[in-house]
Structure 1
């Protein structure tokens, strides 16, 4: 062990199954059996996992409501050379879960932090999505309020990387309908639900078709949902001659802005895209 760590305990960030109880590594089990304390997001939930693998380690809670207070407690135990493991309800800790405060505290004191890899729903969803996984951005849960969803969609609508989002079954339809206005009805999306569980579903389609598919059978909406959205296409779109012809006819009688507005409505084209094209071609 590095000398700078010898006076403290170790902090382990341990990944646990996201559904199937068998999706846990031998190393994770070994760490959980040997640490002095397990800091769990939900003690009752985690104890079920520990019982399956006959893990007897002491367990305390570490959740979003007590994170500030419990992080200080965990830190003091690490200073006493106690080894501690952080686990979330499912998957890799700190991804939308508590733990960031204590990790920052450990970095400041040079306390050894060891991540124990394992299940992660975001990664499982993207690798099975059929959408480019070379470059992606993870945005976590979609906001609850309509105004915030619109703000998020506006920002992400021009994102060129693949997008990973989480959503709940209660809000999925509402969010997708708002998303359609910014991303367009034909944006490719993969809907992943209940990954590793009995009702696991992975469906790749277009945004508008996904909404109709989910509305057709409300049971399809239930479960833990991950959305993988294709990034904005980098290829430049060509404007058809008939669209330019419409603009030229209108331009003889109307202003450039009004001609663009009417042309875009007639041909179901984004006004800003048409405006930039016309400026570039110096047709004003």
Structure 2
């Protein structure tokens, strides 16, 4: 007896607020699969009903994923196509699904991930902070000591940092962000993305914190915190080499002392030190 062709595991993003963000492709997949694995079946059934999708829905969340993944793989190996969704957004991004996808890959099951709503990319694209390089850190620890320790480890991180935060911890999280990163570090708090009361608060950490403390509405809903990266300090030897090169160029038109003073101002180094470095270079 020939083995059936294995099914496909579809990873399907769902709206983070606006139902119009469930793509036609996502709707088609959810209508056609044999069953849908959902983080919260009650929540997901309400969403699916909005689109007249009445497929089988079963629970797969952080507490049962390891135990249930094997049964899902068995169904896929029997030839059933299945879909994985989370409560909102893209599965596996601070949501369950890693164990299942890992085991599906190991079993040779085809995994198809659909593009779609994700709070990280939505917040970043509207924030106005650097997005060429960023690091996603998920939810900050709930306990104050662990939260501060996590932030302290990121103090010199040069990339833009993205965190998720819950409303009942936002005031304490902002307090710790200001304590660790300083009041002037640039940040954005994106709240209730794609929903009616979506807001982006932009400014220094102190300014955003003041706005949140002054308006209790800003302490409600789902939040994404985006923190500007630390300024990159150039290596001293590299700065000195660049400054010396500038001195040599300026010496074609200026005396050494004047050239060193101008180059020092350009590169932000001490003019006496640069003058001495130039003299030393002449004597080597």
Which interval holds the TM-score relative to the shorter structure? Answer: 0.7 to 0.9
CA distance in 2, matches of 1:188, 1:6: 56
- Match of 2:17? 19
CA distance in 2, matches of 1:39, 1:95: 16
Query: Equivalences for 1:208-219 in 2 at 5 Å?
Result: 208-219=206-217
- Tell me which of 201, 204, 219 is aligned to 1:203: 201
Q: Tell which structure's C-alpha radius of gyration is larger.
A: 2
Structure 1 segment 1-284 matched on structure 2, within 5 A: 7-234=5-232
Contact kept, 8 Å, 2:4 with 2:78, in 1: the verdict is no
- Contiguous gaps of at least 5 residues in structure 1: 237-276
1:7 deviates by 2.4
- Structure-2-length-normalised TM-score: 0.80
What displacement does 1:103 show? 0.6
Task: Tell me by how many angstroms 1:166 deviates.
Answer: 0.6
Deviates more, 1:21-30 or 1:176-185: 176-185
Q: Which residue of structure 2 lines up, in the alignment, with residue 261 of structure 1?
A: none
Bigger Cα displacement from structure 2, 51-60 vs 192-201: 51-60
After TM superposition, give the deviation of residue 197 of structure 1 in Å: 0.5
Q: What is the TM-score with the length of structure 1 in the denominator? A: 0.80
Deviations 1:199-231 (A, max 9, x none): 100111100111111111222111100001110
Decide whether the 8 Å contact of 2:7 with 2:80 is kept in 1.
yes
**Cα distance, 1:14 vs structure 2:** 0.3
Q: RMSD of aligned C-alpha atoms?
A: 1.9
Q: Is the 8 A contact 2:41 2:58 kept in 1?
A: yes
Aligned equivalents of 1:81 and 1:63: distance in 2?
23
Secondary structure, in 3 states, of the residue corresponding to 1:113? strand
* Number of positions where the alignment pairs a residue of Structure 1 with one of Structure 2: 236
C-alpha separation in 2, matches of 1:219 and 1:28:
33
Runs (5+) with no aligned partner, structure 2? 235-268, 274-284
